[in-house]
Amino acid sequence: MKAGYVPFPIIPDTFNASFVSPAFAASVPGGDGDGVRAYVKIPTFEWWKSEFMVFDGKIEYRANDGDQARVAGKAGQQLYLNFATGEGEIK
């Protein structure tokens, strides 16, 4: 698995709880470099059309728009996504 890409094996028990990634195995700088990226894998669908990331505490979806800005992440941090509230964070 490429550094910065995270699977989400932890699924919340309730509809309003957060999905939590495993701890990041490596640090990524964000900005113009590599960054944390997340997407939903949908058969026969291009992965980037289901990509999303957290910006200022809010989940933003890429959809058909251009590439999203890269978000930094440090080894050991995790990505928290709450789709019920539309909020998320890396901590």
pLDDT of residue 81: 93
At 66, is the pLDDT very low, low, confident or very high (cuts 50, 70, 90)?
confident
Q: Which of 71, 41, 67, 40 is nearest to 53 (CA)?
A: 71
Rg (CA), the chain: 13
* pLDDT at residue 6 tops 50: yes
Coil vs helix vs strand at 50: helix
Q: Which of 58, 54, 86, 83 is nearest to 69 (CA)?
A: 54
**Tens-digit pLDDT profile for residues 25-53:** 889 888 877 888 888 888 898 888 888 99
**Is pLDDT larger for residue 44 or for residue 9?**
44
- The Cα 78–Cα 50 span in angstroms is 20
4, two tokens: 């910065």
- AA letter at 72: A
Query: What are the φ/ψ torsions at residue 64 (nearest 5 degrees)?
Result: -95, 5
